[in-house]
Amino acid sequence: MAAAAAAAAAGSAGARRGPVLTPECMNPAIRRVEYAVRGPIVIRATEIEQELRKGVPKPFTEVIKANIGDAHAMGQQPITFLRQVTALCLCPELMKDESLPSDVKERAQRLLEACGGHSAGAYSASPGLQMVRESVARYIERRDGVPANADDIFLSTGASDGIVNMLKLLVCGSGASRTGVLIPIPQYPLYSAALAELEAAQVNYYLAEERCWALDVAELRRALAEGRRRCNPRALCIINPGNPTGQVQSRECIEQVIKFAYEEKLFLLADEVYQDNIYAEGSAFHSFKKVLMELGPPYADSVELASFHSISKGFMGECGLRGGYMEVVNLHPEVKAELSKLVSVRLCPPVPGQMILDTIMDPPKPGEPSYERFQAEKEAVLSALAEKARMTEEIFNRTPGIHCNPVQGAMYSFPARPGRCQTGAPDMFFCMRLLEETGICVVPGSGFGQKEGTYHFRMTILPPTEKLKILLEKLSSFYTKFVQEFS
């Protein structure tokens, strides 16, 4: 008997062991996550780049990745003051370099003194370095003209990290009582991906494309009523300026949204990472915090708000250094304590990203050695983006069949094209053909959401002006040919 058991055990040990983690037994919520910005089109673009390096003949010499708002990858040069301060923080012996401005050295020294062991390699406090949080609070006060408190500021690994943490706090319940979150359509797919992962309900409200992607409170009411039939909507997300749509919401619109959130008892999530990117004449950025405070009671002291900003966009484009912040307003004290606990699980945001954030929140002042160069570089980036926004709209709109709303802000256009081609997934098919024939990588509109029966693609305006002009003209020519073949 013992011998037979031993033989069976030996046979079993000799058999090939199957994996513990399989597609069938992994977390099903993860399988529902989609993120078009780095989806199949981008994967194929990377493969084509490798083929080009191996000498595989193509009708183009390079892949232009216009799929993502990665400014430095598109050729934008870093802002000198930001990088000089960070360089000194990471390599303090450079303080001896007499060519570096004195205000750069002073800033780096203060940041290092705020770090454990005077090193950027030390963990910071979980909500971020206190010095940087205070810089953020002062920035918000200057921007809005209303008080801000460093204790309400949580630094984050880009804005995305803060957004996901707030969604984690909001999501609860199951079935008809599970949390629903109203998100704009078109939307940035971080929101749909995070809601899928957290098993929350996505409640879509549609921006009005025929009115330059305006937000209509009547549409919010429609979406909320629909959502309440299947879930418990508790939060409303606004992206302003818009991604992928590039619109800038008016102050009147923001007031209406705040009053709607008050009436319907909704938590507001204000994604404001493109607040520096305003191009259209007559457009201006109004923060939700400022408008909320200026409305006064009962709104100012009861509407809960979390707003987000990032070092990745604006004029900085420091995507890879991963820095940002979240400010919370009217958050319940016990919930705020739970938020502090939640952010502590990841120890702290990247310290170099926090240091870059400080230089943006507290830039060189008039009379300081770095001021003139900083201002010139900042204005050059923003004026170039404004020119590219106008050029994108102009070239697309003179292409028969393509319509592009004005790019009022942010870094993207979201052009519409009519009709369905002879495929089951027309947006994906169009973008894949565009990539294979021209080397231009854009993202299908379906990855952001769009009204049924409409077809779009999202394209960044970040490539250098001359390259962007070539890209737009190549895309226009391709579209004309595509329509002739498939309409």
- Condensed to tens digits (0 to 9), the pLDDT of residues 195-217 reads 988 889 999 999 998 898 999 99
Those residues with Cβ within 8 angstroms of residue 275's Cβ, 6 or more apart along the chain or in another chain:
241, 285, 287, 309, 314
Residue 253 and residue 242 in contact, taking contact as beta carbons nearer than 8 Å: no
**DSSP per-residue string spanning 145-195:** SS---GGGEEEESHHHHHHHHHHHHH----GGGSEEEEEEES--THHHHHH
Residue 408 and residue 280 in contact, taking contact as beta carbons nearer than 8 Å: yes
Domains and CATH numbers, the chain: 29-76+375-486 (3.90.1150.10), 107-361 (3.40.640.10)
Nearest to 412 by CA among 211, 224, 244: 244
Report pLDDT for 150: 96
Report pLDDT for 74: 85
**Is 14 a residue whose pLDDT tops 70?**
no
Instruction: For residues 67 and 95, give the distance between their C-alpha atoms in angstroms, rounded to a whole number.
Output: 39
Q: Which two tokens stand for residue 1?
A: 């008997």
Higher pLDDT, 145 or 2: 145
Residue 248 and residue 409 in contact, taking contact as beta carbons nearer than 8 Å: yes
Nearest to 237 by CA among 294, 288, 161, 311: 288
Residue 464 and residue 388 in contact, taking contact as beta carbons nearer than 8 Å: no
Return the minimum-mean-pLDDT range out of 314-328, 417-431, 447-461: 417-431
**Mean pLDDT value of segment 312-331:** 93
Higher pLDDT, 97 or 447: 97
**Is 469 a residue whose pLDDT tops 80?**
yes
**Is 12 a residue whose pLDDT tops 60?**
no
**DSSP per-residue string spanning 299-353:** TTTT--EEEEEESSSTTT--GGG--EEEEEES--HHHHHHHHHHHHTT----HHH
Instruction: For residues 392 and 412, give the distance between their C-alpha atoms in angstroms, rounded to a whole number.
Output: 9
Report pLDDT for 422: 46
Residue 198 and residue 167 in contact, taking contact as beta carbons nearer than 8 Å: yes
Report pLDDT for 357: 96
DSSP letter at 271 equals E
Each residue's pLDDT tens digit, 332-341: 999 999 999 9
**DSSP per-residue string spanning 75-123:** TPPPPHHHHHHHHHHH-GGGGG-TTS-HHHHHHHHHHHHTSGGG-TTS-
Report pLDDT for 30: 72
Report pLDDT for 176: 87
Each residue's pLDDT tens digit, 374-408: 999 999 999 999 999 999 999 989 888 888 999 99
3-state helix, strand, coil in the chain (%, to 5): 50, 15, 40
Report pLDDT for 433: 86
Q: What is the dihedral of CA 213, 218, 221, 227, to 10 degrees?
A: -50
Instruction: For residues 374 and 315, give the distance between their C-alpha atoms in angstroms, rounded to a whole number.
Output: 11
**Could you tell me how far CA 269 lies from the centroid of its own chain?**
13
At 362, give phi and psi (nearest 5°).
Answer: -135, 75
**Mutual angle of helices 251-264 and 217-228, in 10-degree steps:** 30
Each residue's pLDDT tens digit, 53-86: 888 888 888 888 888 888 898 888 999 999 999 9
Report pLDDT for 62: 85
In the chain, the largest separation of any two C-alpha atoms, in whole Å, equals: 92
**Is 3 a residue whose pLDDT tops 70?**
no
Each residue's pLDDT tens digit, 139-168: 999 999 999 999 999 999 989 899 999 999
Instruction: For residues 195 and 167, give the distance between their C-alpha atoms in angstroms, rounded to a whole number.
Output: 8
Residue 188 and residue 166 in contact, taking contact as beta carbons nearer than 8 Å: no
Helix (H, G, I), strand (E, B) or coil at 257: helix
Report pLDDT for 424: 47
**Mean pLDDT value of segment 92-107:** 92
Return the minimum-mean-pLDDT range out of 72-86, 227-241, 472-486: 472-486
Report pLDDT for 390: 92
